[in-house]
Amino acid sequence: MQAFFESITSLMEKYLNISNQTAGRILFTLIVILAWQILAFVSVKLLSRHVKDLARRYITTKLVVYLFRIAVIIIFFRVWIGVGSGLWAYLGLLSAGIAVALQDSLANFAGWIFIMVSKPFAIGDRIQIDEHAGDIIDIRISQTTILEIGKWVKADQSTGRIIHIPNGWFLKKSLVNFTQKFNFIWNELEVVVTFESDWEKARKILEEIAVDCQDMSEEEAQKYIHQAAQSFLIYYNKLTPFVWVSVADIGVRLTIRYLCRPKSRRYTETRIWESILRRFKEHSDIDFAYPTTRIYYNPNEKKSAPVPQLPPE
């Protein structure tokens, strides 16, 4: 193997008109690049075969690729520059300038380290940071990519836009995770009936509908709560749907509160509203309330017309 290596370097020295040392470095660099590509390819194939969870496979594959890249950079650095006292002095001066000129890039890299170590979110999670919300579809060294939800689209549905968020943001701004540890949120729907309606019957109907249309059972929710309690102090006394009663300007407000998965909020709202419209139609003593205008006409009110008062002379 050494003889082959020396013969190749001799040919490069002869035909490329370079020194033997430079030829050896070039050949070694090519061998490292080839080995890097082969090892990266094999590693990705093995991970794809043995890691079944898509999110874990994606993160592990990214981490392996980045580690290979760092190792290759260190090898290139050692081959072409070397290590010595003069080098470390040079790097010390260089790092000060880099820290100032590339502070945003360094912040993004530090944010990536924070994401990889602390794991505030993973691929597939739904997050919100600043005014941007969406589902995580990619995590890279410099940025995290989300598929946007909300904006002009109602009920947290996808807009189809892709947003690239600098990783440095996750060190500076508050992060909201809709799905970490426990995959549900509380959702509320308001139904307003007239004051003349039988609001108690309406409330009972809404409770039945909420139970029938809920996105998850109480046992499933309890399981998520138990898992989340291992990491966070989360505790709920009541996980079943409930209807709150209050008074609005136009009638009695009945607010349905229920659990649902973050990505199925609009679906559950549609099911509940369809059931409400069908059930209320069966009862003549329950009517939806809406803003109305009342006209006061004295004869219809069966009251005598007021006598106008003349101003004093």
Q: What is the CATH number of domain 185-281?
A: 3.30.70.100
Q: Choose which CATH entry (3.40.50.720, 3.50.30.60, 1.10.760.10, 2.30.30.60) describes domain 117-177.
A: 2.30.30.60
Q: What is the pLDDT of residue 47?
A: 78
**Cβ pair 280, 288 in contact under 8 A:** yes
Instruction: Give pLDDT, residue 23.
Output: 73
**267/260 Cα distance (integer angstroms):** 10
Residue ranges per structural domain of the chain: 2-83, 117-177, 185-281
Query: Can you give the pLDDT at residue 85?
Result: 47
pLDDT of 96: 58
Tokens found for residue 148: 């946007």
pLDDT reported for residue 302: 61
Using CA atoms, how far apart are residues 131 and 145, in angstroms rounded to an integer? 15
- Its pTM stands at 0.57
At 302 the three-state DSSP class reads: coil
Compute mean pLDDT per 10 residues along the chain, 313 residues long, and list them: 66 68 76 82 80 69 76 74 54 57 75 87 89 90 90 83 92 87 84 94 94 78 68 69 92 92 88 94 92 71 59 62
DSSP-based three-state secondary structure for 232: coil
